[in-house]
Amino acid sequence: MRASLIAKQFSVAGHLVSVEPFGSGNVNDTYRAIFRTTFSEERFILQRVRRAVFPNPENIMRNMRVVTDVCHQKLEEVNMSSDRIWQLPKIIQTRDGQDFYYDGDGDLWRAISNIASAVSYEKVQSPDHAYESGMVLGHFQKLISDIPCDQLSYAIEGFHITPIYLSQLDEALKTPLAQELLEHSREARYCLKFIEARREFCSTFENAKKLGELSLRPTHGDPKVGNILIDEKTGKGTCIVDLDTIQPGLVHADIGDAVRSCCNPAGEDAIDLHSVFFDTELFTAIYSGYMTYAKDFFTENDHKYMFDAIRILPLELGIRFFADYLAGDVYFKTRYKEHNLKRALVQLKLAESVEAREGKIRKILG
């Protein structure tokens, strides 16, 4: 009922038909709203942005406005000579011309256009799917690569800075709840031991920034395979969605996270840990697709740190899931009691698989 009332605040023609939960995101509350007129139907995505995750949701909307304005202008030119129609969601304004709406509790709601005739998958379907996912990310990064970072705000302070997640884990470990969970869970103790053995490695990117070898650029922030839309008619990638985490960062975090999501065929919620592994065939495909466009802005140092990106992102997410589990599941949405612990185990197993395949991965990277 609440979402239905809020959907009516946005400037969409027609009468509201339905508002239903949509997608499987771990953070925001997402709905698809349907409006109809006597001659047409309009669908759009309605979301409540959780302040518990994004303390300054206005920053998200400012970033989204900057990026979509730049990209839509470029895409009009790109699509004239492309083998596909590249797309990107558009902000739908409220009836009084604003980019978002505040409800009675002060929560921010936004509406964005629904990309029709396209589908996303929570797990990669084939090497061709992996290739298209890499192309979409590389193309998006190329589109936004010339946006000055000072035009973008930080949606989440410290996002993808691995040592910060380690410090959050350290704080969680000080609590009685964490000690109790560790005492009663062999799996939790395994996670902690695995992470501690790689603590020094977690500072790799921060050290590279201090040395001046890597620098900040506009990034998507969450380019997992589920955020890549594939055209139902052609099978080609058409756009990337979920623009909440756009902010200055390292492009390595983007490609590393995309690879992390794509190259584990078992998926993030794998039940059997034995099914979790880093698929180098899928990696070859996604990296090839990505470099189709990334070659235009990649530097020698960017290449130098690529393996580290592939290794650190599953480790980082494993740390985040594990810290949230020890803190009482305060950040990620969960479906059962030990969901975050199981998620952590999957990511750490993936990180271990990457380490075991280092030689082959470096050969693919050239």
User: What's the domain count of the chain?
Assistant: 2
Report the CATH number that the domain containing residue 321 is assigned in CATH: 3.90.1200.10
Report the CATH number that the domain containing residue 19 is assigned in CATH: 3.30.200.20
Whether the CB-CB separation of 33 and 16 falls below 8 Å is answered with: yes
Element (H, E) at 141: helix 127-144
- Direct distance between the N- and C-terminal alpha carbons of the chain, in angstroms, rounded to an integer: 55
Percent of the chain surpassing pLDDT 70: 99
Token code pair at residue 274: 């034995």
pLDDT, one tens digit per residue, over 231-241 is 999 999 999 99
Co-location of 362 and 276 in the same domain: yes
DSSP H helices, 276-338, are 280-294, 300-304, 306-327
**Confidence (pLDDT) at 26:** 56
pLDDT, one tens digit per residue, over 275-332 is 999 999 999 999 999 999 999 999 999 999 999 999 999 999 999 999 999 999 998 8
Co-location of 106 and 124 in the same domain: no
Q: How far apart are CA 340 and CA 328, in angstroms?
A: 9
Report the predicted TM-score, pTM, of the whole model to 2 decimal places.
0.92
pLDDT, one tens digit per residue, over 18-47 is 999 987 665 678 999 999 999 999 999 999
pLDDT, one tens digit per residue, over 93-122 is 999 999 999 988 888 999 999 999 999 998
Q: How far apart are CA 306 and CA 103, in angstroms?
A: 43
Instruction: Please tell me the least confidently modeled range out of 47-56, 81-90, 257-266.
Output: 47-56
Token code pair at residue 326: 């020890």
Percent of the chain surpassing pLDDT 90: 89
Mean pLDDT, the chain, whole residue set: 95
DSSP 238: E
Residue at which a domain ends, from 116, 135, 162: 116
Co-location of 141 and 172 in the same domain: yes
Whether the CB-CB separation of 343 and 26 falls below 8 Å is answered with: no
Q: How far apart are CA 151 and CA 139, in angstroms?
A: 20
Whether the CB-CB separation of 262 and 282 falls below 8 Å is answered with: yes
Co-location of 181 and 328 in the same domain: yes
Co-location of 263 and 353 in the same domain: yes
Domain extent, residue 354, equals 117-366
Co-location of 166 and 143 in the same domain: yes
Co-location of 22 and 62 in the same domain: yes
Q: How far apart are CA 144 and CA 218, in angstroms?
A: 6
